[in-house]
Amino acid sequence: MEQHVTSVCRAKHYHLHNIRKIRRFLLQPPLNSWAMHSLLDYCNALFRGLPSSLIGRMQRIQNIAARIVTRLKASDHITPVLRQLHWLPIVQRIKFKVSVQVFKCVNGIAPDSSKHHSSASAITNSAVLLSTADRCSFHPPQWVC
CB contact at 8 A, 90 and 62? yes
pLDDT tens string 68-106: 888 888 889 999 999 998 888 989 988 888 888 888 888
What pLDDT does residue 59 have? 92
pTM value surpassing 0.75: no
- Residue 13 φ/ψ, nearest 5 degrees: -65, -40
pLDDT band at 142 (very low <50, low <70, confident <90, very high): low
What pLDDT does residue 24 have? 77
How far apart CA 61 and CA 93 sit, in angstroms, is: 14
What pLDDT does residue 42 have? 74
Q: How far is CA 91 from CA 18, 21, 43, 109, in A?
A: 26, 29, 14, 25
DSSP string, 29-56: -S--HHHHHHHHSTTGGGGTT--HHHHH
pLDDT tens string 43-71: 777 788 889 999 999 999 999 988 888 88
- Residue 27 φ/ψ, nearest 5 degrees: -80, -30
What pLDDT does residue 60 have? 92
The residue that leads in pLDDT, 7 or 116, is: 7
pLDDT tens string 108-139: 887 776 555 554 445 445 555 555 444 444 45
For residue 27, pLDDT beyond 90: no
- In one-letter notation, the amino acid at residue 72 is L
